[in-house]
Chain A
Amino acid sequence: MKRMVLLILLIAGAALLVGAGALPQVRSIELPPDNPMSQLKPGPGVEVVRADCVACHSTDYIVRQPRGDAKRWGAEVKKMISVYGAPVDEADAKVVVNYLATAYGPAEAKETKEKSSAKPGAKTP
């Protein structure tokens, strides 16, 4: 009888342990590296963008944006500096805006637009 009780206690104890093990106290994940498919296009000034614009976010943030002229990109760069405190001095900012307005400029936009409007079934917003 005593042995029986002991056995039950042992089984109950084991079940408790298993139960506790089912709810892990520590959980962790590991994030993958930056998306290699969103690297900046080559062009004059690209090395400045690589140095100044990748600390807080991956380059997908830049290459996925709508195309824009110097005014539009200028506003983005200004926002990075004044709103988020990006460490970019005036000389660098000029180079960055110049690069963006060329590599991701409005000329590009026309091309993309023509391409997509020529496509049947393109999204009509």
Chain B
Amino acid sequence: MSSNFMRTGISRRNFLALAGAAPAVASGGIFDAVRALAAEDPILEGRPLVKYPEKTDLILLTSRPPQLETPMKYFAQAITPNDAFYVRYHMFPPPTRVDLSAWKLKVGGNVDHPLEFTMDELRSKFTPARLVAVNQCSGNSRGYVEPRVNGGQWGNGAMGNAEWTGVRLQDLLDRAGAKPGSVDISFRGFDTPAAPTLHHFAKSLPMTEVADSPDIMVAYEMNGAPLPMLNGYPARLVVPGWYGTYWVKNLEEITVWDHEFESFWMQKTYRIPANHCECVPAGTALTRTVPINRMKVRSFIITPADGTRVKVGRPVALKGIAFDAGYGIADVEVSDNQGSTWQRAVLGRDLGPYSFREWSAPWTPPHRGSFTLSVRAVNRMGESQPFEANWNPAGYLRNVIEKIQVTAV
């Protein structure tokens, strides 16, 4: 046993008990009738579909702590249902019980009036803010990164889009009176790691970002209902346009800092290359880095599903979604010839700049055989998606042009 643990006076036995660990687990409950996913996708192959509390059948990445992936079929609509929304916790145990009579949101640090709000106060003392926004894990699609990288081997389903209702962060800071010269603002959830050597989950944003963005909010509703426990009940931070790592779940503490906030989760992980492409040559290490921040433009073909058979000469409606960091999607294009030519898709209803944007494009298979269908989006800044994936050792930021394979018969 390492001296590390001796110092904290925690024996392995206690440690296991603390962590609630059971090395070999008998099959039971949700796993009994489990169907492992079929083999079309080497990353999802063999992973079970499971039903967690308040959730529908999702693809299991890890059970302890829970990481659940949304099957692609749910992205046929722009809004992801709460019970299908992906789950990503870093540590075990995540919160499983909340008593609202005891829960408070604290706002403190470098402020004139440190404050605490109950859920009733959050709901009644502020004008509710409401917007639709995509939450996507920094490591979404990591499983497809080549050369492969370690970390959660997600397929493409570590994302979702919901209407969030809550209190503007700027309103909270106005009440508390953030002092001039404040540098960072940090967010801490009430999930506590079981092992004393693990780092409490906390993230921060620069004050300049918060001052510029009235859209950042503390959300207490998702699609008009309280958040599912595993999506951060009773409140989570919503940082529209930014990767999910900033959307701190089970939020209880907001702190304003007059100097840079320091946390393992800001300084040691969730870092990306500090260069224009935010990438490094495949297989090489990071040198200069910055914290991950805004999402890159992405688009997906949702129907037909990958591997579908279609009929020669019979029109197929290609449909899917596109999103970016909130500049808004300007155009979506599809190609059936590896990008030699592109056809413009029709965009669906605009639910706001941070939302999934549905698109559709009619396509008629011209002859028998296998087709690679590609999709790419461009946003209002003119940013698009690369043909060749950019690489970084943590497998963040993936936004390569997506392809599916269909066979015309």
Contact with A along B221-258 (1 / 0, CB 8 A): 00000100110011000000000000000000000000
| B2 within 8 Å of A (CB atoms) | yes
| B341 within 8 Å of A (CB atoms) | no
Query: In the complex, how many angstroms separate the beta carbon of A105 from the nearest chain B beta carbon?
Result: 14
| A81 within 8 Å of B (CB atoms) | yes
In A75-125, which residues have CB < 8 Å from any B CB?
76, 81, 83-89, 112, 116, 119-125
Complex contact A31–B148 (CB within 8 A): no
User: Could you say which of B27-35, B169-177, B292-300, B312-320 contacts chain A?
Assistant: B27-35
Selected contact of A50 from candidates B24, B26, B153, CB within 8 Å: B24
Chain A residues contacting B60 (CB-CB under 8 Å) are 35, 60
Complex contact A84–B195 (CB within 8 A): yes
Complex contact A116–B42 (CB within 8 A): yes
| B405 within 8 Å of A (CB atoms) | yes
Complex contact A84–B197 (CB within 8 A): yes
| A33 within 8 Å of B (CB atoms) | yes
| A2 within 8 Å of B (CB atoms) | no
Complex contact A57–B92 (CB within 8 A): yes
Contact with A along B355-388 (1 / 0, CB 8 A): 0000000000000001010000000000000000
Which residue of chain B is the closest to A34 with respect to CB atoms?
B25
Selected contact of A87 from candidates B15, B36, B63, B407, CB within 8 Å: B15
Complex contact B31–A35 (CB within 8 A): yes
Complex contact A33–B195 (CB within 8 A): no
Complex contact B93–A31 (CB within 8 A): yes
CB contacts between A and B, total, < 8 Å: 171
In B88-126, which residues have CB < 8 Å from any A CB?
91-94, 96-101
Evaluate whether A35 and B99 lie within 8 angstroms (CB atoms) in the complex, with A55-B21, A125-B145 already known.
no
Query: In the complex, how many angstroms separate the beta carbon of A63 from the nearest chain B beta carbon?
Result: 9
Chain B residues contacting A50 (CB-CB under 8 Å) are 23-24
Selected contact of B63 from candidates A58, A81, A116, A123, CB within 8 Å: A58
In B72-101, which residues have CB < 8 Å from any A CB?
91-94, 96-101
| A64 within 8 Å of B (CB atoms) | yes
Please report the C-alpha to C-alpha distance between residue A35 and residue B34 in the assembled complex, in whole angstroms: 10
User: Could you say which of B49-57, B271-279, B329-337 contacts chain A?
Assistant: B49-57
Complex contact A54–B21 (CB within 8 A): yes
Evaluate whether A64 and B42 lie within 8 angstroms (CB atoms) in the complex, with A56-B195, A84-B195 already known.
no
In A34-88, which residues have CB < 8 Å from any B CB?
34-39, 50-51, 54-58, 60-61, 64-66, 68, 72, 76, 81, 83-88
| B160 within 8 Å of A (CB atoms) | no
| B16 within 8 Å of A (CB atoms) | yes
Complex contact B31–A66 (CB within 8 A): no
Selected contact of B405 from candidates A24, A66, A68, A124, CB within 8 Å: A124
- Main secondary structure on B side of the interface with A: loop
Contact with A along B387-408 (1 / 0, CB 8 A): 0010000000000100101010
Selected contact of B42 from candidates A23, A61, A123, CB within 8 Å: A123
Evaluate whether A56 and B31 lie within 8 angstroms (CB atoms) in the complex, with A32-B52, A33-B25, A66-B148 already known.
no
| B128 within 8 Å of A (CB atoms) | no
Number of B residues with CB within 8 Å of any CB on chain A: 78
Complex contact B23–A32 (CB within 8 A): no
Complex contact B50–A32 (CB within 8 A): yes
| A29 within 8 Å of B (CB atoms) | yes
Chain A residues contacting B5 (CB-CB under 8 Å) are 85, 87
In A10-31, which residues have CB < 8 Å from any B CB?
23-31
Evaluate whether A35 and B48 lie within 8 angstroms (CB atoms) in the complex, with A55-B195, A61-B62, A89-B1 already known.
yes
Complex contact B48–A89 (CB within 8 A): no
Complex contact B19–A56 (CB within 8 A): yes
| B287 within 8 Å of A (CB atoms) | no
Which residue of chain B is the closest to A81 with respect to CB atoms?
B2
Which residue of chain B is the closest to A50 with respect to CB atoms?
B23
Complex contact A32–B29 (CB within 8 A): yes
14 additional contacts, CB 8 Å, given A27-B234, A123-B144?
Answer: A28-B96, A33-B28, A34-B64, A35-B60, A54-B21, A55-B15, A56-B19, A56-B195, A57-B92, A61-B62, A86-B2, A87-B1, A87-B4, A120-B405
List the interface of chain B (C-beta within 8 A of A). Answer: 1-2, 4-5, 12, 15-16, 19, 21-31, 34, 36, 39-43, 46-48, 50, 52-54, 60-66, 91-94, 96-101, 144-146, 148-150, 152-153, 194-198, 226, 229-230, 233-234, 268, 306-307, 370, 372, 389, 400, 403, 405, 407
Give the 6 A-B residue pairs with the shortest CB-CB distance, closest first. Answer: A85-B197, A29-B53, A66-B148, A28-B97, A58-B64, A125-B144
List the interface of chain A (C-beta within 8 A of B). Answer: 23-39, 50-51, 54-58, 60-61, 64-66, 68, 72, 76, 81, 83-89, 112, 116, 119-125
